[in-house]
Chain A
Amino acid sequence: MKTTPLTEIHRALGARMAEFAGYEMPISYAGIREEHLAVRHAVGVFDVSHMGEFIVKGPEALKLVQRVTSNNAAKLAPGRVQYSCLPNEEGGIVDDLLVYRLFDDQCAEGEEAFMLVVNASNIEKDFAHIQRYNNFDTRLIDISDQSGLLAVQGPRATEALQTLTDVPLADIAYYHFVKGRMAGIDNVLISATGYTGAGGFELYVANEELPALWEAVMEAGKPYGIEPAGLGARDTLRLEKGYCLYGHEIDDKTSPIEAGLSWITKLKKGDFVGREAILRVKEEGTQQQLVGFKTEGKRVPRQGYTLLDESGQAIGRVTSGTLSPSLNMPIGMGYVPPAFAKSGTAIQIDLGRKQVAAEVVELPFV
């Protein structure tokens, strides 16, 4: 199993560790609910070094990025970030990712550079997929094994991190990034992004800098109530915001249109892998649509449970569910036919020995 530069630190903090995407990762420290609420109301720090990072660099870097991703990367000025996905030829999703347009000082004359941040479970698959379409004058480089990543998330993240840097953090707009010195470490990529919907930053540094950065962030965060947070809280936080998770809401078979990702699927930007298949889905209409729902009682909907209409007929499936720590009620996401996708629609969830009533609601939950 792979480790991150912080694995020993997590163990020393008493984290529950488990295998995730081939990495030994912290699932929780003080407890998922406590960590979740710390991130929603104060600040938490996540080791997400398992995420994959690729550099696309060369005179035709933009052409390759445009060819394989669904969003319009031509709109990205240096210092900007974009959520996007890698569609396959059938119009399914190879992966979802962040696309960073790097600053030109990273490049030789006449070159441009991007960083693609992909899911850990898909690193090899994504690399092979992108390389397959790389008949451009550009290089694709996997730096995942050299790159560490901390997500410092929460409404007090900016204040806490500001004590470690002269870079004016409040000036970094959402989905923008800068490179700067933080905690005595040069060239930290400070990105106003995250997967929690709580605000904050993601900090990319070389592996060998990561332990020092972690310690500095934990120390600086103390007056702000910082807590280390694990992948358990990361999952409940993203679910409250209705964010898709690869392997749950999206996979090789789901269309970005069904998953509510039309907004990152720019069919007018020119040709890209999967465009025709996605266009067809858009023209013909979808068979299923991703929705959020709340249930009665305290039983938690889980991935794979069947969704039923009011008469008990199977209509779809649950993709994710949890007891929302913010709302203290069960919430979930799943696929239903468009006729059931309107908020307020009454449905049921099959728990096995019994059914429980649920209601389709607008996303996000929180």
Chain B
Amino acid sequence: MQTPDNLKYTQNHEWIRLEEDGTAYVGITDFAQESLGEIVYVEVETVDETLEKDEVFGTVEAVKTTSDIYMPVSGKITEFNPALNETNEDNDPTLINSDPYGKGWIIKIEVLDPAQFDELLSADAYQKLIE
């Protein structure tokens, strides 16, 4: 199970990676994808919306279960990963299973308050949570 050091994590098993320009990528962790099993559909209908930390921004459908996904920090959703988007012909939601921290990113956001990152879990703390 991977837990990269350069990311921050939530109790709900999302990860977030802050870029230098103040945007950030958000996805779900290796542990989360492993627990959910094969992901068959990702729904994000919140692009261009500004959501508070802990608000639901989308839903992941696995074969066996449905799981909501939450904002790790407050922000404006600027992009839904086109590779996961059902409206694109060659979309592949299982990218979340095969590459949860890379090609399987779910949304890109503009971060409103970078100080909220201090409230998130470090890789070490997250690793302890899932052990």
Contacts and interface: CB of A to CB of B under 8 A. Distances in A.
Interface of A: 16, 27-28, 31-33, 232, 235-236, 298-300, 302, 322-323, 325, 353
Given A299-B59, A353-B56, A232 B41 contact: no
Contacts of A322: 63-64
B61 interface: yes
Given A16-B37, A232-B37, A302 B66 contact: yes
Contacts of A325: 63
Interface residues of B, number: 13
B38 interface: yes
Interface in B55-74: 56, 59, 61, 63-66
A222 B61 CA distance: 32
Contacts of B86: 298
Given A232-B64, A236-B63, A302-B65, A323 B56 contact: no
Contacts of A235: 64
A33 B37 contact: no
Prevailing SS type, chain A contact patch: mixed
B92 to A, nearest CB: 13
B50 to A, nearest CB: 17
B43 interface: yes
Given A28-B37, A298-B41, 8 more contacts: A32-B64, A33-B38, A232-B37, A235-B64, A298-B61, A299-B43, A323-B61, A325-B63
Given A298-B61, A302-B66, A353-B56, A323 B41 contact: yes
Contact of A33 (B43, B61, B63, B65): B63
28 contacts: A16-B37, A27-B64, A28-B37, A28-B38, A31-B37, A32-B37, A32-B38, A32-B63, A32-B64, A33-B38, A33-B63, A232-B37, A232-B63, A232-B64, A235-B64, A236-B63, A298-B40, A298-B86, A299-B41, A299-B43, A299-B61, A299-B66, A302-B66, A322-B63, A323-B40, A323-B41, A325-B63, A353-B56
B1 to A, nearest CB: 14
Contacts of B61: 298-300, 323
Contacts of A298: 40-41, 43, 61, 86
A325 B63 CA distance: 9
Contacts of A32: 37-38, 63-64
Nearest to A231: B64
Contacts of B37: 16, 27-28, 31-32, 232
Contacts of A16: 37
Contacts of B41: 298-300, 323
Interface string B45-89: 000000000001001010111100000000000000000001000
A302 B43 CA distance: 16
B59 A323 contact: no
Nearest to A36: B63
Contacts of B66: 299-300, 302
Contacts of B59: 299
A31 B56 contact: no
A303 B61 CA distance: 14
Nearest to A28: B37
Contacts of A236: 63
Nearest to A16: B37
Interface string B9-48: 0000000000000000000000000000110110100000
A35 to B, nearest CB: 10
Contacts of B40: 33, 298, 300, 323
B63 A323 contact: yes
A95 B5 CA distance: 51
